[in-house]
Structure 1
Amino acid sequence: MKRIVDWFFTIPFLAAFFSILAIFHILQVIASFISYSAHNFVLTMMNYCLIKSFLLVGTKVRICGQDHFPADRSLILISNHQSMYDIPVIVWTFRKHHPKFIAKLELARGIPSVSFALRTLGSALIDRSDPRQAMPAIKVFGSYVEANHFAACIFPEGTRARDGKIKRFKPSGVYALLDSMPSALIVPIAINGSWKLLRNNLRPVPFGSKFSMHVLDPIEPNQMNRKELVTEVHRRISEELERIE
């Protein structure tokens, strides 16, 4: 019976979700000819609509923790990664800081709205199989984010945790950001529950899944060396996930 209920709500959810991506793709293209600000505004509103679409499957996203950070400093957002649904919540929560992402090169094509935004709004697209390309690209990206006081978001696990269990962090990308963003404030983020929405690969989406994002206390980069910093961020996120469970 539950599976029937799940399918009943999954169909309108998927219709709404992919319609939002398609409609806002057109709006993004138009806005990109106007100005960066117009394009970024359209992207922000798209992510707001995506978050609201979760209500169709009985999921209300809960956002906890600090949401006010200095406007005159760049941010490095370090988060665990559970599903594609993490992205809209991060974009909306940190919208005042224009979050940019480090994403795999494969995402540059084929996904309405998402691929266009990654290509045109300053995110870094890296070839994970080629560190010689990836590290310089991340440093160039970090310098751009630092100069504009934006937020750089990185998922150091390198892939999604499909069972919700945090993986070991791969530190090289974080190190590259720290080198190119010396004034940035480090913001750990713990995401919990978004993996459940993809537990069945959308066939169907479980109704009533709990999904929360917890913005943890920021860390000044000069408080510890970079190896200790990555370890500390992983520890804080892990402990927060254990506390939530």
Structure 2
Amino acid sequence: MDWQLRPARDTELSPVARLRSHSREVGLAGAVVQGLWRRGVRSYLRLFHQLDVVGRENLPADTPYILIANHSSHLDAMSLGAMLRGPAARRAFALAAGDVFFGSVRSSAFAAWAVNALPVWRKRTSSKDLNGLRERLEQDQLVYILFPEGTRSRNGEMGRFLPGIGALVAAGPVPVVPCYLEGAYACWPASRRYPRPGKLRLTIGAPLEFSAIANDKAGWMEIARQCEQAVRGLKG
């Protein structure tokens, strides 16, 4: 194996700026905290939600790839992240709403250090930001956890997928793995402050690839359509 040394992407950033940066590196301390967090989340999901994962064999053997799913609860990202194992778990970043999870230093620290989230600002994420996320996904062999609806459902029904997912994968080699999570809305809808016990079932579908679709707005819309169709097709 050929090893290459390079400076950390976030070396020049201040501690606070690093929390909200798409260039943030995990580091040793972060890896320890996130490992403990994943272990705690897995125990919680097993004890209180009896999380059942179907189709784990559909996960690619190697990174990079993107996990997508329907979005109705804060349990969604926890469930997708918890079912990953090995290097994929350590390389996984959840793409989270910046206005929700990165509004203050305290919430940014939790999102960065525990959840390993990267912010996506709903009203000011630029094409440059998306290109940077795409470049890092491929170069660093990461896993992104992404909810293409852009926000949690307020009634439990899946909404239309937005084209941002297309900008990350169009005309490229990175596969997209569709997932469907059942039970999360009943356990922890957006209207509740805290979750309640209830069973969760996560179904993982076959990976999708979009190397033949043009990297333009029409291509992004088509990718969003295909991804939405694949996720809907997993609903029990």
The question of a shared fold, defined as TM-score above 0.5 by the shorter chain, is answered with yes
Asked if residue 129 in structure 1 is aligned to residue 123 in structure 2, the reply is: yes
The total of aligned residue pairs comes to 199
Distance 1:45 1:239 in 2: 34
Greater per-residue helix proportion: 1
Give the match's secondary structure for 1:232.
helix
| Contact residue 41 and residue 82 of structure 2 kept, 8 A | no
Matched, 1:219 2:196: no
Asked if 1:99 corresponds to 2:92, the answer is yes
- Structure 1 residue runs without a partner (length 5+): 1-34
Aligned partner letter, 2:110: V
Identity of matched residues, %: 18
Residue correspondence of structure 1 range 1-245 to structure 2 within 5 A: 36=27, 39-54=30-45, 58-67=48-57, 68-71=59-62, 73-95=63-85, 96-97=87-88, 98-106=91-99, 107-108=101-102, 109=104, 110-111=106-107, 114-117=110-113, 123-130=117-124, 133-171=125-163, 173-179=164-170, 182-199=172-189, 201-202=192-193, 205-207=195-197, 209-222=198-211, 226=219, 227-241=221-235, 244=236
Distance in 2 between residues matched to 1:83 and 1:47, nearest whole Å: 18
Structure 2 unpaired stretches of 5+:
1-25
Q: For each residue in 1:148-181, what CA deviation from the matched residue of structure 2 results, as whole angstroms up to 9, or x when unmatched?
A: 111122211010113321101111x1122115x8
Cα deviation, 1:55-98, whole Å, max 9, x if unaligned, reads: 55x42111111344132x41022211121111222112234322
Q: In the aligned structure 1, how far is the partner of 2:143 from the partner of 2:34? A: 15
What does the per-residue CA deviation read over 1:186-226, in whole Å, with 9 as the maximum and x for residues that have no partner? 111111111112246146x444x221111110112236564
TM-score, normalised on structure 1? Answer: 0.70
AA partner of residue 112 (structure 2): F
Q: TM-score, normalised by structure 2?
A: 0.72
